[in-house]
Amino acid sequence: MPEQQTIVPKETMSFEGVFSIRELRNIIMDWMSAKAYIPVEEKAQQVIKKNAKFFEFKFKPYKKLSDYAKCLIKITISAFNCKDVIVPVAGKKRKMQDGKVLVKVEGILETDYEAKWEIHSVWYAVRVIAEKYVLAPFISHHAEYVKDETHQIISQIRSYLNLQKRIK
Other C-beta atoms lying within 10 Å of the C-beta of residue 73: 26
pLDDT 10s digits, 96-126: 999 999 999 999 999 877 667 677 778 678 7
The mean pLDDT of the chain is: 89
What pLDDT, on a 0 to 100 scale, did the predictor assign at position 139? 85
What pLDDT, on a 0 to 100 scale, did the predictor assign at position 1? 64
Other C-beta atoms lying within 10 Å of the C-beta of residue 123: 13
CA distance 160 to 75: 15
Mind giving me the DSSP string for 51-72?
Answer: S-EEEEEEE--EEE-SSSEEEE
Looking at the chain, the number of H-run helices and the number of E-run strands are 3, 6
CA distance 47 to 103: 18
pLDDT 10s digits, 53-107: 999 999 999 999 988 899 999 999 999 999 999 988 778 898 999 999 999 999 9
User: What is the amino acid identity at position 14?
Assistant: S
- Secondary structure letter of residue 118 according to DSSP: G
Contact 51, 80 (CB under 8 A): no
What integer is the mean pLDDT of 17-31?
A: 93
